[in-house]
Amino acid sequence: MKKVGEIRKRIFLLWWFGITVNFCFLLVACFSHDETSVRRELRGITNTSKPRGPTISAVRLNTEDHGRVVIENGIVQITLSSPEGYILAISYDGIDNVLESRNEEPDRGYFDVVWNKPGKNSTFQRIHGTKFSVVSLDDNQAEISFVRTWSPSLEGENVPINIDQRYILRRGDSGFYSYTIFERPEGFPAVEVDQIRNVFKLQEERFVYMAISDTRQRYMPSMKDRETGQPLAYPEAVLLTNPSNEDFRGEVDDKYQYSCENKENRVHGWISVNAEAPMGFWVITPSNEFRNAGPIKQDLTSHVGPFALSMFVSTHYAGKEVTMEFQEGEPYKKVFGPIFVYLNSVSNSENPLTLWTDAVQKMSKEVKRWPYDFPQSQAYIPPSQRGTVFGRLLVQDWYIRGGRFQNADSAYIGLALPGAAGSWQRESKGYQFWTQASKKGYFVINNVVPGDYNLFAWVPGFIGDYRYNATITITPGRVIKLDSLIYNPPRSGSTVWKIGVPDRSAAEFFIPDPYPTLMNKLYNEQPKDKFRQYGLWEQYADLYPNSDLVYTVGVSSYDQDWFYAHVTRLRGNKTYEATTWQIRFNLQNDPFKGSYTLQLALAAAANSDLKIWINGGGNGPALFETGKFGGDSAIPRHGIHGLYWLFSIGVPSDVLVKGNNIIYLQQSFAINPFQGVMYDYIRLERPPTLGT
């Protein structure tokens, strides 16, 4: 395995070899053709920098083969099982099937749901349609439907939701659209849904190079490499001990190392680096409105298989708190998608990595086209029936700049189902519409589906969540102008000291280098992604084998002295112990009378119980205790954040003293190495001295 730059150099050499071969043919042509012919050949080479575009044909639908539905447009051909709706084959550019034909037919391209009856274990279910129909068909577009209708006879065996899977193929498109409609009429039983997604399993021998972003792309090991490797402590992680390619030996592979926040998860996929026919397979998501839990929710993308996923709903990096919970008889309807599955190719004389560049450009075009005007379902809301909200958000902190208004620079502002401030990050049923404000706090939220919403926001650099105090009702075509909105972040008094940066992430804290024997080489020279390496949490015990972290305000530096995760310590024989961190600080004068406030913002929590004492050696009743909370698994799944938590903790002045003081933070629940919290920001405030 070469480093990313070396990988690209190798691909460039393959491309240059193709150019050289063609140039040799030109030399021959110089002796056997006239000048005009040679120039024509030269133009043929210099004009191959764009993916090839086959002749555009009308869209065609074929149902003559029993149990099969075929739609094609001269560029791509999709074969589906009928009435089940499984994608059996995707043909493109002379390749009969880019999906893995060795898999069973239901295990190539499918839609699945993970669900459970309340109080029962989860069930994984591929959705198996029972009725096929043609929604629309002409020379320019075909839309087909595969419906699975629930009935009481299916109770306990099938998720109690009517599910309609739709596929759209349009003339001239090098790919197809897919969307799914969920509907629960009144009277359906209660159910919980943890995961909703599309899965595409590609030809293993063809697709070997994966790309998620400009910097996160690499050659990938195979599924067999994982099967012959050594399973590590966390189930999805494998140490590659006997790979088919020696470059991978000693690396860790884990699908969670390739996770991505919703707001960044627009395009990802695979490249077939093949000298004969380089091609790409890409999943493009033009909008996040149908995904769960807001813009910074993290989820899976592509990973070893080769698999490409389109995640609509999951509990990844959040836990059961984001589960879709439906009560007995609760009605529901929502459209997930459309997404666009894009295929592209280049000639053997071109650099295969241009396929990624082309996919990014295609993604940008799809985003600009959103919302689409061609899906035929009445459940899908076209652009003409949507609304807009715009305004400006300002921040007012009475202890900063004398309470003068500040611009909510780059604030995240969105509409989600009504709820308490911050409820959007646990909300999975409804649509969410988010944008980032300008430097001066101005924002526009376009293309909002009609309904009732609350407007939420959070501002980098400030703790807490904002919620507009009135319900916003969107009707078709409505444009709502809001007055200047004022966010007053939590604040009780002036700052005594602070640790970290309030950005809902632990990225600014100390993240150790990975163990040399547990590396993913992709991230070796990418400091901002170092947290994605496996096993970093284990290094806490290496740094603090017998005693715990001590941070001294005014002396220590949070980027060097504050470990990124407050975890347990291994004591041997698979037993773990609680760890107690200390924050030491000095008050030069007698404490002010009244109540101080400890603002404690957490970036993640997993099966933890956080207790806090002040002075007294951490003995006696805790000043504050969370109780058992959190389930986001961000620590072992290489996420630098999960769900955000904020605790404003009153600190009586009589527990503080002039001179040296110590705050004790104990993560007291210690059963395994994956428990713990990540801190976002900690601030001690004096008692209030100003009226607001």
SS3 of 163-182: the string is EEEEEEEECCCCEEEEEEEE
Last residue of a domain, one of 453, 487, 521: 487
Q: Which residues contact 177 (CB under 8 A, 6 or more apart)?
A: 167, 168, 169, 170, 337, 338, 339, 340, 341, 372, 375
At 8 the pLDDT is 52
Closest to 309 (Cα-Cα) out of 333, 286, 339: 339
Determine the Cα–Cα distance for residues 318 and 314; give it in Å rounded to an integer.
8
* Per-residue confidence band for 23, with pLDDT thresholds at 50, 70 and 90: very low
At 619 the pLDDT is 78
The one-letter amino acid code at 595 reads S
Length of the chain: 692
What string of DSSP letters covers 248-302?
GTTBEE-GGGG-EEGGG-SEEEEEE--SS--EEEEEE----TTSSS-TT-EE--E
Angle at 219 between CA 520 and CA 208, to 5 degrees: 135
Determine the Cα–Cα distance for residues 63 and 79; give it in Å rounded to an integer.
10
At 51 the pLDDT is 46
Q: Give me the mean pLDDT over the 446-471 stretch.
A: 98
Mean residue pLDDT across the chain: 92
Look-up of token digits 């006997």 = 242
Same domain, 390 and 427: yes
Q: Give me the mean pLDDT over the 167-176 stretch.
A: 98
HSE value, Cβ hemisphere, 13 Å, CA-based, for 686: 13
CATH of the domain at 391: 2.60.40.1120
Same domain, 389 and 525: no
Provide the edge-to-edge strand list for the sheet that holds 252-253: 230-231, 238-239, 252-253
CATH of the domain at 336: 2.70.98.10
Determine the Cα–Cα distance for residues 509 and 543; give it in Å rounded to an integer.
15
Determine the Cα–Cα distance for residues 198 and 301; give it in Å rounded to an integer.
11
- Greatest pairwise CA separation for the chain in angstroms: 98
Last residue of a domain, one of 341, 369, 397: 369
Determine the Cα–Cα distance for residues 558 and 556; give it in Å rounded to an integer.
7
Token representation of residue 382 = 């076209």
Look-up of token digits 């995961």 = 195
* Per-residue confidence band for 593, with pLDDT thresholds at 50, 70 and 90: very high
At 56 the pLDDT is 76
* Per-residue confidence band for 470, with pLDDT thresholds at 50, 70 and 90: very high
Same domain, 433 and 506: no
The one-letter amino acid code at 486 reads I
The better pLDDT of the pair 645, 617 is held by 645
Element (H, E) at 420: none
Provide the edge-to-edge strand list for the sheet that holds 162-170: 131-137, 141-148, 162-170, 175-184, 332-345, 279-284, 267-272, 209-211, 217-219
Determine the Cα–Cα distance for residues 124 and 110; give it in Å rounded to an integer.
13
Task: Please tell me whether residue 39 adopts helix, strand or coil conformation.
Answer: helix
Closest to 377 (Cα-Cα) out of 198, 170, 666, 179: 179
Last residue of a domain, one of 314, 341, 369: 369
Q: 280 to each of 71, 87, 257, 285, 331, how far by Cα in Å?
A: 20, 18, 21, 16, 40
At 571 the pLDDT is 87
Burial class (CB in 10 A: 0-12, 13-18, 19+), 41: middle
* Per-residue confidence band for 277, with pLDDT thresholds at 50, 70 and 90: confident
At 55 the pLDDT is 59
Closest to 286 (Cα-Cα) out of 182, 359, 210: 359
Q: 179 to each of 14, 299, 320, how far by Cα in Å?
A: 38, 19, 25
The better pLDDT of the pair 61, 39 is held by 61
Provide Rg for the chain, Cα atoms: 28
Percent of the chain scored above 90 by pLDDT? 87
Q: What's the domain count of the chain?
A: 3
Angle at 392 between CA 390 and CA 397, to 5 degrees: 150
Q: Which residues contact 288 (CB under 8 A, 6 or more apart)?
A: 262, 263, 265, 295, 432, 434
Same domain, 469 and 525: no
Same domain, 309 and 409: no
Burial class (CB in 10 A: 0-12, 13-18, 19+), 589: exposed
421 found inside a domain: yes
Determine the Cα–Cα distance for residues 415 and 99; give it in Å rounded to an integer.
38
Same domain, 202 and 309: yes
Determine the Cα–Cα distance for residues 2 and 21; give it in Å rounded to an integer.
26
270 found inside a domain: yes
Same domain, 537 and 623: yes
Mapping DSSP onto H, E and C, the string for 338-358 reads EEEEEEEECCCCCCCCHHHHH
18 found inside a domain: no
Q: Give me the mean pLDDT over the 536-556 stretch.
A: 96
Alpha helices in 508-582 (DSSP H): 539-543, 558-561
Token representation of residue 66 = 């029993």
Q: Give me the mean pLDDT over the 612-631 stretch.
A: 91
What string of DSSP letters covers 113-130?
EEEE-TTS--EEEE---S
444 found inside a domain: yes
Note the pLDDT tens digit of each residue in 111-125. Answer: 999 999 999 999 999
Determine the Cα–Cα distance for residues 678 and 605; give it in Å rounded to an integer.
6
Given a cut of 80, whether residue 37 has pLDDT beyond it is no
Closest to 44 (Cα-Cα) out of 62, 26, 66: 26
At 660 the pLDDT is 97
Backbone phi, then psi, for 217, in 5-degree steps?
-150, 145
- Residue numbers of the domain that contains 257: 60-369
Note the pLDDT tens digit of each residue in 320-364. Answer: 999 999 999 999 999 999 999 999 999 988 999 999 999 999 999
Element (H, E) at 661: strand 659-667
| Whether the Cβ atoms of residue 169 and residue 78 lie closer than 8 Å to each other | yes
Same domain, 364 and 258: yes
Inter-axis angle of helices 35-46 and 4-32, nearest 10: 170
Q: 152 to each of 55, 189, 338, 679, how far by Cα in Å?
A: 49, 9, 30, 47
38 found inside a domain: no
Same domain, 482 and 499: no
Of 165-169, 659-663, 688-692, least confident by mean pLDDT is 688-692
Given a cut of 70, whether residue 29 has pLDDT beyond it is no
The one-letter amino acid code at 471 reads T
Same domain, 445 and 563: no
At 33 the pLDDT is 35
Note the pLDDT tens digit of each residue in 502-533. Answer: 999 999 999 999 999 999 999 998 989 999 99
16 found inside a domain: no
At 252 the pLDDT is 97
At 557 the pLDDT is 98
Neighbours of 276 (CB within 10 A): 8
Task: Please tell me whether residue 76 adopts helix, strand or coil conformation.
Answer: strand
Determine the Cα–Cα distance for residues 565 and 568; give it in Å rounded to an integer.
10
168 found inside a domain: yes
What string of DSSP letters covers 196-244?
EEEEEEB-TTT--EEESSSSSEEE---HHHHHTSEE-SSTT-EE-SS-S
At 690 the pLDDT is 64
Determine the Cα–Cα distance for residues 626 and 637; give it in Å rounded to an integer.
23
End-to-end CA distance of the chain: 60
Note the pLDDT tens digit of each residue in 88-106. Answer: 999 999 999 999 999 999 9
Instruction: Specify the pTM.
Output: 0.90
Same domain, 327 and 422: no
Given a cut of 90, whether residue 48 has pLDDT beyond it is no
Q: Give me the mean pLDDT over the 556-566 stretch.
A: 98
46 found inside a domain: no
Checking DSSP bridges between strand 68-72 and strand 60-62, what pairing results, if any?
A: antiparallel
Same domain, 474 and 507: no
Note the pLDDT tens digit of each residue in 174-214. Answer: 999 999 999 999 999 999 999 999 999 999 999 999 999 99
Note the pLDDT tens digit of each residue in 75-88. Answer: 999 999 999 999 99
